[in-house]
């Protein structure tokens, strides 16, 4: 005869076993088509490149990783910094930072505006932000292309107004990528900011005014510190996909203004350098993980502060 | 309605909520969000065959898109993939959500969370090339080049999206009804089918719709995983953008847009009723 404690323990173990069985399909699918391939890619980054793409299986080489930052001169074999890769890496980081700042500059007033509407109308404003968010990214990029083309809405309007005589060429420049990214990722900034601002206790704002603070002081010393978690969350949500952007620079940046995502694609296409492509992908992933760690640390700290 | 939206009522002399310029910036943002989409839709009705001039109202390009065999095939393929992937992802996510909620912590629970949510954290282009590497090998080994790869890849990145609303719904659910059913000698399967599942239905529907929209919208992973001649609607459009763009693409985009907006609107009202 088993004791009551023994039965309870077995029952508990049985439950845990069935919980593992239940979650098995999801775990297996994610492993096969998401996590597993990442490990294969890690292995590929340490192999020698094949002559027509792919790799030479089992042949260990650090060339992929070296060529992320360095290039070998084809004549005398000397190493120098890989300017092309570094400038693309730098462009990706720079454009992503600017995109984050611009979406914050537009997104904060917007989220604040929504949060200060009457309760039953807020929902409608939020819904208006959600619609573009759920619209296909490619379609939105294409829509932006129609606005900034030489014959597009923006140039036509400016010429009609007499501000300019010749269309300003925006397409296929860094500006085009920037316009596209701000437009596409704006909802990702507004939504978390709104979630934070909605909970803002305006009695604190009132208290600030009672103590003779001006509008700017209230904004800077009371509102901004209180919604900092929302600002950090929104910035991360915009920064991460910007860094890995592929469709937007491909459509709006043309062939010349590459970002990291396009550089990676190039290695698997015309570049035929899979180990370099794998190493660049892992570099991108590490950059994203660093941004994420920053967010988690920040969230943990402010979580303790404001409850 | 418009009156309520803008709060045009008498304001107190000093509004503590007001910040100068914020309203203008907010309206500018909304204009920015909608202007490109509206332009796109308007130009879909352009009779002229170039995008640079307006030639009057016409449905010509919608007809042209609907009769284009490549567009029909791509749309059909997108639909098959989205329905299969969303269905499989929703089933797997429902099972996983039941296994990971309403339980005391057990070893491996946090690993499961991390696993299920990982596809959300990895940049799409990285997953895409990793899948390209693996599937290129598998295609050679097995000789199979069907839609299975696309469906599998889509299922994987749809799982976290299906999982989130289902888990949220489960966590808010009262366990006493299920206990009562068990007290009345319902076997576990019947408790699940007659009590848990009906209560969980709104979460499952929300999860399925999210997964469906996410799959339908995907460009990057599909672009790298597809074999030759397996364009989905978004990858077909991406390919067309390289060439001279005709309003036909606008027509496809506009139709796609209407579908997305319709789905989001339905989703919005389902959630609102629940709240």
Domains of chain B, first to last: 72-274 (1.10.3720.10)
Average pLDDT over residues A252-276: 89
Alpha-carbon gap: B167 to the closest alpha carbon of chain A (Å)? 13
Q: Which residues on chain A are in Cβ contact (under 8 Å) with B28?
A: 106
Taking CA atoms, A2 is separated from A6, A15, A17, in Å, by 6, 18, 20
Has residue A304 got a pLDDT over 60? no
pLDDT digits over B172-189, tens only? Answer: 888 888 889 888 998 888
Considering chain B, what is the average pLDDT of its residues? 87
SS3 content of chain B, % helix, strand, coil (to 5): 75, 0, 25
- Percentage with pLDDT > 70 across chain B: 92
Contact B7 A16 (CB under 8 A): no
Q: Does B93 touch chain A (CB under 8 A)?
A: yes
Average pLDDT over residues A61-89: 79
SS3 of residue B271 by DSSP = helix
Find the DSSP H helices in chain A: 4-30, 36-44, 63-69, 83-115, 119-133, 137-148, 153-160, 174-198, 202-210, 215-218, 224-226, 228-243, 247-252, 260-268, 274-306
Taking CA atoms, B275 is separated from B202, B269, B272, in Å, by 11, 10, 5
Q: Report which secondary-structure segment, H or E, holds B54.
A: none
Q: Which residues does chain B have with pLDDT short of 50?
A: 1-3, 275
A47 φ/ψ angles, rounded to the nearest 5 degrees: -115, 165
Considering chain A, what is the average pLDDT of its residues? 88
**B257 contact partners, CB below 8 Å, separation of at least 6:** A135, A136, A139, B37, B40, B41
- The pLDDT of residue A151 is 82
Query: Can you tell me the ipTM of this complex?
Result: 0.87
SS3 of residue A121 by DSSP = helix
Cα nearest neighbour of B211 on chain A = A134
d(CA A32, CA B125): 17
- Percentage with pLDDT > 70 across chain A: 95
Q: Which residues on chain A are in Cβ contact (under 8 Å) with B127?
A: 34, 37-38
- The pLDDT of residue B267 is 77
Has residue A94 got a pLDDT over 90? yes
Taking CA atoms, A195 is separated from A19, A113, A189, A209, B36, in Å, by 33, 13, 10, 24, 26
Contact B256 A136 (CB under 8 A): yes
pLDDT-based confidence at residue A1 (cuts at 50, 70, 90): low
pLDDT-based confidence at residue A306 (cuts at 50, 70, 90): very low
Contact B264 A29 (CB under 8 A): no
* Range from A151-155, A242-246, A287-291 carrying the lowest mean pLDDT: A151-155
Q: Which residues on chain B are in Cβ contact (under 8 Å) with A176?
A: none
pLDDT digits over A26-51, tens only? Answer: 999 999 999 999 999 999 999 998 88
Contact B29 A106 (CB under 8 A): yes
Q: Which residues on chain A are in Cβ contact (under 8 Å) with B163?
A: 26
| Nearest Cα to Cα of residue A283 among B57, B132, B125 | B125
All structural domains of chain A: 4-80 (no CATH), 83-306 (1.10.3720.10)
Average pLDDT over residues A262-273: 90
Q: Is the pTM of this model over 0.90?
A: no
Question: How do beta strands A55-60 and A47-49 pair?
Answer: antiparallel
Alpha-carbon gap: B213 to the closest alpha carbon of chain A (Å)? 8
């Amino acid at each position: 005869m088993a004791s009551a404690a023994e039965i309870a323990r077995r029952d508990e173990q049985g439950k845990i076993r069935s919980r593992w069985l239940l979650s098995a399909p999801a775990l297996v699918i994610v492993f096969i088509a998401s996590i597993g391939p990442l490990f294969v890619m890690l292995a590929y980054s340490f192999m020698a490149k094949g002559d027509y793409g792919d790799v030479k299986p089992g042949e260990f080489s650090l060339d992929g990783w070296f060529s992320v930052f360095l290039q070998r001169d084809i004549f005398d074999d000397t190493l120098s910094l890989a300017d092309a890769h570094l400038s693309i890496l730098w462009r990706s980081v720079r454009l992503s930072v600017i995109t984050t700042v611009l979406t914050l500059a537009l997104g904060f007033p917007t989220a604040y505006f929504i949060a200060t509407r009457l309760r039953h109308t807020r929902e409608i404003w939020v819904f208006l932000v959600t619609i573009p968010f759920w619209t296909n990214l490619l379609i939105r990029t294409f829509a932006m292309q129609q606005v900034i083309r030489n014959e597009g809405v923006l140039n036509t309007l400016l010429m009609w107004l007499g501000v300019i005589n010749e269309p300003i060429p925006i397409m296929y420049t860094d500006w085009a990528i920037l316009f596209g990214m701000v437009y596409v990722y704006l909802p990702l900034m507004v939504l978390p900011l709104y979630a934070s601002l909605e909970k803002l206790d305006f009695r604190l704002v009132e208290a600030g005014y009672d103590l003779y603070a001006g509008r700017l002081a209230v904004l800077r010393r009371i509102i901004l510190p209180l919604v900092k978690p929302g600002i950090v969350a929104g910035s991360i949500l915009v920064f991460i996909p910007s860094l890995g952007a592929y469709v937007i620079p491909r459509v709006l940046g043309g062939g010349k203004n590459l970002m990291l995502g396009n550089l990676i694609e190039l290695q698997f296409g015309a570049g035929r350098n899979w180990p370099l492509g794998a190493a660049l992908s892992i570099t991108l992933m590490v950059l994203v993980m660093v941004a994420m760690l920053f967010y988690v640390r920040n969230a943990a700290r402010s979580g303790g502060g404001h409850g | 309605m418009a009156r309520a939206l803008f709060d045009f009522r008498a304001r107190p002399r000093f509004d503590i909520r007001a910040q100068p310029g914020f309203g203008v910036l907010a309206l500018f943002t909304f204009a920015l969000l909608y202007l490109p989409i509206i332009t796109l839709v308007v130009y879909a009705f352009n009779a002229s065959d170039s995008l640079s001039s307006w030639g009057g109202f016409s449905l010509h390009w919608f007809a042209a898109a609907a009769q284009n065999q490549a567009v029909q095939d791509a749309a059909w393929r997108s639909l098959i993939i989205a329905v299969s992937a969303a269905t499989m992802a929703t089933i797997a996510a429902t099972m996983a959500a039941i296994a990971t909620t309403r339980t005391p912590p057990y070893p491996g629970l946090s690993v499961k969370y991390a696993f299920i949510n990982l596809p959300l954290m990895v940049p799409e282009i990285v997953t895409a090339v990793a899948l390209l590497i693996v599937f290129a090998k598998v295609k050679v080994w097995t000789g199979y080049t069907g839609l299975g790869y696309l469906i599998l890849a889509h299922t994987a990145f749809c799982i976290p999206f299906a999982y989130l609303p289902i888990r949220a719904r489960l966590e808010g659910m009262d366990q006493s009804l299920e206990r009562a059913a068990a007290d009345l000698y319902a076997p576990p399967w019947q408790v699940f089918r007659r009590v848990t599942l009906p209560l969980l239905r709104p979460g499952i529907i929300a999860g399925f719709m999210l997964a469906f929209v996410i799959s339908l919208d995907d460009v990057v992973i599909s672009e790298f995983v597809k074999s030759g001649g397996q364009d989905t609607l978004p990858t077909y459009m991406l390919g067309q953008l390289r060439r001279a763009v005709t309003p036909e693409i606008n027509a496809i985009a506009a139709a796609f847009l209407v579908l997305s907006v319709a789905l989001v609107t339905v989703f919005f009202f389902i959630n609102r009723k629940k709240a």
